[in-house]
């Protein structure tokens, strides 16, 4: 059984208040006295206290700052209406089977029968919804489940009953939760105001991305100035927009709302540091009053707080909470053969998680996970091979780069001054890009590309022992590059630039924050034909990040049309399609949280057929990696794979799905 939400957003109401329906003013009185225990249900909500006694956080928190009370209308019993105690009864079936079954009423059957009947049958006994309070948009709204097939007549009946039984009265709107519900909502009478998810989301001021608390020095920085501004590990930074690149900090606030799959948010989750969106954050009076001070920032599910602390408190907090050093898998330099991707992970060597771990020291996390993808029947991936980490080490040793690195790491000025680190690392990368590449390695690579990838431009992708790992994904830390074998120097340049990305300033800082030994980093390469003209690119999670309970599963998808607008860090002002795809529900409902502004209004980046194709792939990936990271590995917590994908096709062809990578997601950050 799945939840639905009715959204309420309004100013606080007094214990007694009035509302108006059909021109009649009705006086409301609380059903509960202050301090009364929460009942099993109420038949009316007379005030804020009544609502608060029954409300819980909704299962779907995609629009933040909500409190929800589920509602049931029993059509068999004269359209009796019940606002159920949603703290005690998390789903409708629990309440209905306890209170509305037997004792003169028809028996309620199994959960499976209830779900099949009460959401899909035109002769269903119950109409189901919820009442939710939102602090942001200032809207009351009735919702039904995204997969509910209620007719406009049913929705009207439920809406009017809820409106007349609640102190919010005529302020109630109807919020369609999926494309199918939105289509039916067009048939509602004009007396029912409809408000879309886009409109609700746009009216929300606060977006909690990663729920956490930290203490740091509060700084205000324009995103465009980050390239010339050095931040400390102990800074909390307020930004006007989501940056493409940012140094390691202990908290982030952006005026521009983010996607949960942005590199910034994934890194915040990995660091367990707070990350939030707040409209007009740069001019927020509370934050500006704390500028330059040590503050404790808390990002919660419903609200946030920032308060000044002393420097002594800040120092004590850092000592108590600084990251435990991450120890990377030791490099395996015994492997020197180029390996077709299917042969990178030996699944016959033991449990899947251990087999993946065994491949990482030689081939890195990205290639190891790609190997599993390539061996998953029915999953579309590019043919690929892996170059082991040995050749990175060979390149570093033959060109004296390790000795140069040792000198950098021993330099006190390099260690103490970020501007010096940045400049010296830039010089180090330049030296790598100019260094010669081993002749035997070049010969082997030329032969491999000529034999298996003739005439194709190739993508040389980073695959280190410090990325795409369980507990340390380091999303966006390293940079991949493309080379054209018809211009061999172009291939060598692509490889050297990819290897050199180990020593990007932001990447160095991320490792330093986590106490990683920089000498322990090695980089293998995942190699396949690139995507020169993809029609769409996207990222997805194989679970619903807004549903910690698991009672409302779905896939979260963030996708954009092909071109220069990357999904995870788009240019300023560019939005993408974001939606929850309930792949396991009849009707496969889709709930859009935002739409791309690079497509014609009213259209979507992907067609329904493409969304279904993607859904099948995400389900395969979710199940395939479950023995390594999910329930089949004994994980009882929230589990998802973080997936990158493309839709690509030749001119005149329908663009088809290709999966680029999958890695374990670090979690929801609580």
pLDDT digits (tens, 9 = 90+) for 53-100: 998 876 555 666 677 899 999 999 999 999 999 989 988 999 999 999
Looking at residue 2, its pLDDT comes to 39
Cα–Cα distance for residue pair 240/217, rounded to 1 Å: 17
Statement: residue 565 has pLDDT above 60: yes
- Quick count: other Cβ atoms within 10 Å of Cβ 649? 15
pLDDT digits (tens, 9 = 90+) for 618-646: 999 999 999 999 999 998 888 999 999 99
- Quick count: other Cβ atoms within 10 Å of Cβ 600? 7
For residues 218, 224, 230, 233, the Cα torsion angle rounded to the nearest 10 degrees is: 50
Looking at residue 95, its pLDDT comes to 95
Q: Grade residue 152 by pLDDT with cuts at 50, 70 and 90.
A: very high
Contact 133, 51 (CB under 8 A): yes
pLDDT: is 136 or 467 the higher one? 467
Of 173-182, 286-295, 524-533, where does mean pLDDT reach its minimum? 173-182
Cα–Cα distance for residue pair 347/345, rounded to 1 Å: 6
Statement: residue 275 has pLDDT above 50: yes
Which residue, among 532, 537, 544, 502, has the nearest Cα to 520 in the 3D structure? 502
> End-to-end alpha-carbon separation of the chain, Å?
25
pTM score of the predicted model: 0.76
Q: Grade residue 246 by pLDDT with cuts at 50, 70 and 90.
A: confident
Statement: residue 611 has pLDDT above 60: yes
Contact 127, 190 (CB under 8 A): no
175-208: string of b/e by CB count within 10 Å (b at 16+)? Answer: bbbbbbbbebbeebeeebeebebeebbebbbbbb
Cα–Cα distance for residue pair 591/611, rounded to 1 Å: 12
Cα–Cα distance for residue pair 454/485, rounded to 1 Å: 9
Looking at residue 66, its pLDDT comes to 74
Of 55-69, 118-132, 137-151, 409-423, where does mean pLDDT reach its minimum? 55-69
Q: Grade residue 412 by pLDDT with cuts at 50, 70 and 90.
A: very high
Cα–Cα distance for residue pair 640/656, rounded to 1 Å: 24
Q: The tokens 């449990």 sit on which residue?
A: 351
| Mean pLDDT of the chain, nearest integer | 89
**H or E stretch covering 132:** strand 126-134
User: How big is the CA angle at 518 (ends 218 and 252), to the nearest 5 degrees?
Assistant: 20
Strands, E, within 1-52: which ranges? Answer: 7-8, 16-21, 24-29, 41-42
Cα–Cα distance for residue pair 381/344, rounded to 1 Å: 15
pLDDT digits (tens, 9 = 90+) for 372-406: 999 999 999 999 999 999 999 999 999 999 999 99
User: How big is the CA angle at 595 (ends 198 and 263), to the nearest 5 degrees?
Assistant: 105
Cα–Cα distance for residue pair 523/502, rounded to 1 Å: 8
Which residue, among 383, 347, 395, 390, has the nearest Cα to 368 in the 3D structure? 347
Looking at residue 60, its pLDDT comes to 59
Q: Grade residue 473 by pLDDT with cuts at 50, 70 and 90.
A: low
For 492-509, what is the mean pLDDT? 95
Cα–Cα distance for residue pair 274/304, rounded to 1 Å: 10
DSSP conformational letter for 654:
P
| 135 Cα distance to chain centroid | 22
Which residue, among 191, 244, 251, has the nearest Cα to 218 in the 3D structure? 251
User: How big is the CA angle at 433 (ends 428 and 434), to the nearest 5 degrees?
Assistant: 100
Cα–Cα distance for residue pair 150/141, rounded to 1 Å: 16
Of 144-148, 157-161, 212-216, 514-518, where does mean pLDDT reach its minimum? 144-148
């Amino acid at each position: 059984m799945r939840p639905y939400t009715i959204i309420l957003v309004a100013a606080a109401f007094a214990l007694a208040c009035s509302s108006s329906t059909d021109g009649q003013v009705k006086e409301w009185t609380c059903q509960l006295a202050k301090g009364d225990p929460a009942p099993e249900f109420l038949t009316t909500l007379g005030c804020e206290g009544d609502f608060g006694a029954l409300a819980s956080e909704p299962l779907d928190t995609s629009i933040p700052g909500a409190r929800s009370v589920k509602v049931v209308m029993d059509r068999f019993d004269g359209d009796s209406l019940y606002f159920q105690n949603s703290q005690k009864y998390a789903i409708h079936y629990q309440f209905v089977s306890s209170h509305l079954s037997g004792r003169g009423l028809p028996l309620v059957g199994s959960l499976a029968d209830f779900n099949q009947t009460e959401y899909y049958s035109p002769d269903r006994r119950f109409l189901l919804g919820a009442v939710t309070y939102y602090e942001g948009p200032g809207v009351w709204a009735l919702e039904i489940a995204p997969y509910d097939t209620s007719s406009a007549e049913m929705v009207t009946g439920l809406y009017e009953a809820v409106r007349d039984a609640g102190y919010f009265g005529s302020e109630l709107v109807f919020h369609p939760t999926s494309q199918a519900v939105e289509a039916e909502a067009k048939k509602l009478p004009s007396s029912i105001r409809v408000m879309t998810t886009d409109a609700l989301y746009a009216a929300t001021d606060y977006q909690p991305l990663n729920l956490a608390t930290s203490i740091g020095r509060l700084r205000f920085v324009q995103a465009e100035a980050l390239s010339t501004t050095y931040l400390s590990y102990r800074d909390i930074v307020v930004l006007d927009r989501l940056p493409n690149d940012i140094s390691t900090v202990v908290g982030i606030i952006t005026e521009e709302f983010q996607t949960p799959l942005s590199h910034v948010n994934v890194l915040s989750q990995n660091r367990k540091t707070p990350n939030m969106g707040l409209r007009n954050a740069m001019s927020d009076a509370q934050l500006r009053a704390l500028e330059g001070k040590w503050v404790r920032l808390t990002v919660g599910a419903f609200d946030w707080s920032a308060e000044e602390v002393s420097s002594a408190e800040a120092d004590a907090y850092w000592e108590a909470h600084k990251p435990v050093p991450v120890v990377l898998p030791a490099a395996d330099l015994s492997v020197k053969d180029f390996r077709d991707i299917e042969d990178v992970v030996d699944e016959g060597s033991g449990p899947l998680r251990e087999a993946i771990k065994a491949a990482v020291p030689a081939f890195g996390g990205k290639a190891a996970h790609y190997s599993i993808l390539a061996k998953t029947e029915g999953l579309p991936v590019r043919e690929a091979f892996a170059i082991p980490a040995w050749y990175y080490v060979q390149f570093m040793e033959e060109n004296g780069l390790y000795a140069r690195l040792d000198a950098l790491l021993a330099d006190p000025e390099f260690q103490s001054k970020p501007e010096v680190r940045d400049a010296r690392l830039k010089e180090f990368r330049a030296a790598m890009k100019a260094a010669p590449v081993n002749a035997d390695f070049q010969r082997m690579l030329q032969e491999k590309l000529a034999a298996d990838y003739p005439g194709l431009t190739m993508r040389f992708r980073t695959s280190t022992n410090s990325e795409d790992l369980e507990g340390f994904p380091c999303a966006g830390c390293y940079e991949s590059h493309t080379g054209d074998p018809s211009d061999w120097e172009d291939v060598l340049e692509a490889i050297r630039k990819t290897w050199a990305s180990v020593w990007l300033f932001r990447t160095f800082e991320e490792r330093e924050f986590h106490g990683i030994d920089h000498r322990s980093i090695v980089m293998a390469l995942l190699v396949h034909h690139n995507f020169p003209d993809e029609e769409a690119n996207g990222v997805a999670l194989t679970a619903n990040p807004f549903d910690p309970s698991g009672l409302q599963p779905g896939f979260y998808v963030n996708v954009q049309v092909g071109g220069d607008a990357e999904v995870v860090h788009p240019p300023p002002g560019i939005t993408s399609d974001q939606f929850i795809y309930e792949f396991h529900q009849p009707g496969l409902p889709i709930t859009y949280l935002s739409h791309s502004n690079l497509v014609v209004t009213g259209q979507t980046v992907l067609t329904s057929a493409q969304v279904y194709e993607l859904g099948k792939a995400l389900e395969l990936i979710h199940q395939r990696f479950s023995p390594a990271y999910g329930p089949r590995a004994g994980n009882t917590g929230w589990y998802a794979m973080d997936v990158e994908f493309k839709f690509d096709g030749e001119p005149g062809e329908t663009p088809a799905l290709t999966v680029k990578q999958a890695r374990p997601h670090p979690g929801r950050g609580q």
